[in-house]
Amino acid sequence: MNLKIALFGIAKEIVGQSVLEVNAPNDQPVQQLLEQLRAQYPALGQLSSLAVAVNNEYATDTQLLHERDEIALIPPVAGG
């Protein structure tokens, strides 16, 4: 399946684009996507934290991803 991942803040700068298209096996868990992205972009692995959001909610490591999901990579937030 083809996943479109929205990128923000420092993650957008590291990858160099605001949306990343990733080819992944069906029902890929969040943890595997993170491992794949950290391998491809080692600077992502140096961040204080890196979460995945699915449909505007923080996802757990074992949550399965689907092609229609709205997926985003969430580097450390700093609002306020």
Partner 1 sequence: MITIDLTDQPIDVPAALQLVQADGAGAVNTFIGTVRNKSTGRPVVRLEYEAYDSMALHQLRKVATQAQELWPMLENVVVVHRKGTLQIGDVAVIVAVSTPHRAESFAACQYIIDTLKQVVTIWKKEFYEDGDVWVAAHP
Min dist CB 55 to partner 1, Å, is: 9
Bridge partners of residue 64, in order along the sequence: 29
From the list 1, 3, 9, 66, which residue makes contact with partner 1 (rule: CB under 8 A)? 9
Residue with Cβ nearer partner 1 (1 or 6): 6
Q: How far apart are CA 33 and CA 22, in angstroms?
A: 9
Nearest 5 degrees, angle CA 42-CA 45-CA 51?
A: 130
50 burial class (0-12, 13-18, 19+ CB within 10 angstroms)?
middle
Min dist CB 50 to partner 1, Å, is: 10
Taking CB under 8 A as the criterion, which residues in 54-73 touch partner 1? 56-58, 70, 72
Binding residues (CB under 8 A) for partner 1: these are 6, 8-10, 13, 46-48, 53, 56-58, 70, 72, 74-80
